[in-house]
Amino acid sequence: MSSGAIETGATQIEVRQLSKVYPNGLRALDNVNVDIKKGEFVAIIGSSGAGKSTFIRSINRLVQPTSGTIKINGEIVTGNDLRHLRRDVAMIFQQFNLVKRLTVLRNVLMGRLGYKNGLGLIYPIFNSKDVDLALASLQRLGIAEKAYIRADQLSGGQQQRVAIARALTQEPSIMLADEPVASLDPETSIVVLDILKRINREDGITTVVNLHQLDLAKEYADRVIGFKGGKLVFEGTPDQVTREVYEKVYR
Amino acid sequence: MKKYIGNEDPVSHELETIEKRKLETPEAEPPMPTVPPYDPPVGLMNQFRRKWQEAGKPKYRNPVVAAVLQVVPGLGYVYMWRMAFAALTAFLFLLAYVILGLRILQYKPEVNARLATPVNPNPEPDLWNWSLLTPESITLLWVALALLAINLGFRTYHQARLNNLNLQVKSLAEIRKARGTFIQRVLTFNYLALIIFVFGILQVAKDSDFDLGRLISKLDNIKRYVGELLNPNWNALFTEKGIMFRARETVEISIIGTLAGAVVALLISFLAARNLMGRNPITNVAYYIVRIILSIQRSIPTLFLAIVFVVSVGVGPFPAVLALTIFSAGLMTKLFSEAIEAIDWGQVEAISAAGGGPVHVVLFAVIPQVLPYYISHILYSWEVNIHSASVLGLVGAGGIGQYVQDAINTYKYADIGMALFIVIVITMAIDFTSAYIRAKIL
């Protein structure tokens, strides 16, 4: 994987003059410049509609930006060969987005789809290596015993853990999390963020998280980025998030 | 979780200030809303209304009179208006029925005998075959158009006045006044819709030979044939190429037709789903082509298809299978593609965010979500197909319809009754089975 060549501390995601205007005229991102270093845990704060989700989704091109460039591992991201980009940039969602009618193991194996080529593009066959990897991810998140249960029978926190396991099975170098705890209770939120933080530390996976809760952002992040009205209004360490910053970002 | 201390926590600080403010300012009494004085508009109807209202007051000693005079205003003038319009509509329907009834009385069953008589030198004017091009018709038409133009003018003026009222808050009296007087409201009634409606009904009734007299005169025939149908011939069940043989054929036709249609629909439905195809200009074109073909296909009646296939591949169950395949493929494609359009898009996003290709998305995000709906729709379409399959035999395409066709040609009405009974039993059995399975899986 190309990410292995990059040392911890080097810039891994380089966003330059990124703008996104939706067809209804909404300017969701306005000339955003951000550098995210390898192995960093970045939290993005901002009120609803500030452009947090659009920013995170334009990193793996679930949203097509209107202008600007994104460089990941030194390569400019284009619309071509999205599958290679996306298997290296894993993503977890607010609504977990598990395929509810499939088993947990099958869901986690979805993380291997990016590595299937040739006939595997028509009907992918998951070999024992894939299954071992998936089971190892589940083991790491402490839900290996649920592997053969249907995904819709799990609780919200467990579903989000399955989603993280799916992301881990991609063997990514970057993990994007779009409001991962917004539909969970405070206790489970902490469990999920602890897992993300642990993965970030142990595997050195660069993690970018959208968060509503300022206290969680201050506790877990190495760096906090604040968005307001599509513009980047704050960038700094958690200690620098003061009352003035709060006023600037949320008012 | 970390706790905030003192001023650092912006939220609790704000709460404190709000609490303080609450303590400082005592709650003031909200001012009483002022009610605008009642200002009744002056007009003929309003005078009547006031009279009725006054009549409701207990100055009448006779309880019956008092009750009547209290109930009538109690209904409210709004309801009076509605009742008046309902009465008008009822009257127009009555008129239509009287005209139709006159036509019923004019009906003479001996059509052939009448054709043989010489032509009447002074024919009565036939009201039904009116023409638009006679001078009377043209005059009437111009008068009607002029009236409608005036009416349209009044309606536009009235609507503009009502729209203008929305711009600013007015007193109750002004709002009432904007509704207009009685005569204004009569002039603004939409006559065009009413006229088109009434003439449309009359014309439709005429064109479809709606004639109760003919039904009544043929009652004896109906009694005789229904009597024969209700006395079925049980011996016709198990003969060679008899009812049971044909019934089995019908069920088999419907099963093969449904399955073949389901296979075709399964492949096409992805092309007919807007959420899958609408994201890319090339696939969007494919989507529209498929939709156009489908709408053409749905407008061809199954019986026509069966006739075409009977002519081209020959008599027997095979043309019926082909006709049902095409029909149910169209039906199921529509149902399947609607099921696909209703899926949770987040799961699609998750698969593509994990690096999955378009086929992966269909296999792992779309099919698991729509599979129960597919099975349900296949069963539903089987129900529809068993109905169709029993009719298709009438054009020579096998099944129980074929038996009925043969029986009609040889005047064996008792055999038709038996066939009908079997059709009812089979259809009900399949309907119940399919409804049971569908309730189980959904």
Write down the ipTM of this complex: 0.85
Is residue B385 within 8 Å of residue B258, measured between CB atoms?
yes
Which of A99, A211, A213, A239 to probe by mutation at the B interface, max B CB count within 10 Å? A99
Question: Domain with A161 in it: what CATH number?
Answer: 3.40.50.300
pLDDT tens per residue, range B339-376? 999 999 999 999 999 989 889 999 999 999 999 999 99
**Mean pLDDT of all residues in A2-15:** 71
Strand partners, B437: none
Asked if the C-beta of A62 comes within 8 angstroms of chain B's C-beta atoms, the answer is yes
With contact defined as beta carbons under 8 Å apart, do B260 and B325 qualify?
yes
pLDDT band of B92, cuts 50, 70, 90: confident
What confidence tens digit (pLDDT) does each residue in A122-181 have? 888 899 999 999 999 999 998 888 889 899 999 999 999 999 999 999 999 999 999 999
CB contact under 8 A, B355 and A62: no
Is the pLDDT assigned to residue A4 strictly greater than 50? no
In percent, the amount of chain B with pLDDT more than 90 equals: 28
- Give the C-alpha separation, A75 to A3, whole Å: 11
Which A residues 178-237 touch B at CB under 8 Å?
186, 190, 215-216, 218-219
Give the residue carrying structure tokens 């591949």.
Answer: B313
Q: What is the dihedral of CA B410, B411, B415, B421, to 10 degrees?
A: 120
Q: What percent of chain A has pLDDT over 90?
A: 64
Q: Indicate yes or no: CB of B8 within 8 angstroms of CB of A243.
A: yes
Whose tokens are 């229904």? That residue is: B226
Residue B346 CB partners (closer than 8 Å, separation 6+): A93, A95, A97
Residue A132 domain boundaries: 2-250
- Please name the member of A86, A93, A247 whose beta carbon is closest to the beta carbon of B352: A86
Instruction: Tell me what the mean pLDDT of segment A98-102 comes to.
Output: 91
What would the mean pLDDT of B263-274 be, rounded to a whole number?
92
- Give the minimum alpha-carbon distance from B315 to chain A in angstroms, rounded to a whole number: 41
CB of B371 within 8 Å of any CB in chain A?
yes
pLDDT of residue B81: 61
pLDDT attached to residue A1: 41
Q: Does A243 touch chain B (CB under 8 A)?
A: yes
Question: Which of B354, B359, B360 is opposite residue A170, by nearest beta carbon?
Answer: B354
Cα torsion at B72, B76, B77, B78 (round to 10°)?
Answer: -140
Q: What is the pLDDT of residue A225?
A: 94
**C-alpha–C-alpha distance, residues B365 and B369, integer Å:** 7
- Strand (E) positions, B84-191? none
pLDDT for B120 equals 63
How far apart, in whole angstroms, are the C-alpha atoms of residue A55 and residue A225? 11
How many residues are listed for chain B in this entry? 442
Dihedral angle sign, alpha carbons of residues B281, A83, A98, B269: positive
Looking at residue B2, its pLDDT comes to 47
Identify whether the C-beta of residue A112 lies closer than 8 Å to the C-beta of residue A130.
Answer: yes
**Are B350 and A87 inside 8 Å of each other by CB?**
no
CA distance B363 to A101: 12
pLDDT tens digits, one per residue of B160-208:
777 666 555 566 777 667 777 777 777 777 777 787 788 778 777 777 8
A51, containing H or E segment: none
Which residue blocks in B219-242 are alpha helix, DSSP H? Answer: 219-229
Name the average pLDDT for chain A. 90
- A34-48, A99-113, A141-155, B188-202: which range is least confident on average? B188-202
Nearest residue of B to residue A120, measured between CA atoms = B360
Q: Whole-model pTM above 0.80?
A: no
Nearest CA in chain B to A81: B355
Q: Taking residues A211-239, what's their average pLDDT?
A: 91
Is residue B323 within 8 A of residue B357, CB to CB? The reply is no
Residues 6+ apart with CB under 8 A from B277: B270, B271, B283, B284, B286, B287
Whose tokens are 């904007």? That residue is B178
Mean pLDDT of A24-40: 91
Q: What is the dihedral of CA B308, B314, B316, B321, to 10 degrees?
A: -50
Domain count, chain A: 1
Return d(Cα A185, Cα B413) in angstroms, integer. 73
Please state the length of chain A: 251
Record: fold of B235-441: MetI-like fold (1.10.3720)
- pLDDT greater at residue B29 or residue B260: B260
Beta-carbon separation of A114 and B355 below 8 A: yes
How far is residue B301's CA from residue B311's CA, in Å, rounded to a whole number?
A: 16
| pLDDT averaged over every residue in chain B | 78
**Tally of CB atoms within 10 A around B116:** 7
Do B442 and B372 contact (CB within 8 A), yes or no? yes
HSE-up of residue A144 (Cα within 13 Å, Cβ side): 10
pLDDT at B125: 55
pLDDT of residue A118: 85
Residues B390-404, mean pLDDT to the nearest whole number: 88
Q: Is A121 part of the contact surface with chain B (CB cutoff 8 Å)?
A: yes
Cα-atom radius of gyration of chain B, to the nearest Å? 36
**Exposed/middle/buried for residue B53 (C-beta within 10 Å: 0-12, 13-18, 19+):** middle
**Token duo for residue B341:** 């359009």
Query: pLDDT by residue (tens digit) across A193-212?
Result: 999 999 999 999 999 999 98
The domain locations on chain B are 87-113+133-216, 235-441
B100-146 pLDDT tens trace: 655 555 555 555 555 555 666 665 555 555 555 667 767 777 887 78
Mean pLDDT of B226-250: 87
Contacts A–B by Cβ distance under 8 A: 96
d(CA B421, CA A239): 84
Q: Which of B351, B353, B368 sits opposite A101 (nearest CB)?
A: B368
Residue keyed to tokens 């499939």 = A102
pLDDT at residue B229, rounded to an integer: 85
Least Cα distance to A97 among A111, A85, A116, A117 occurs for A111
**H helices, E strands: number in chain B:** 21, 0
Q: What per-residue confidence (pLDDT) applies to B39?
A: 58
d(CA B403, CA B240): 11
Site from A113, A174, A183, A190 to mutate, B interface, most B CB atoms within 10 angstroms: A113
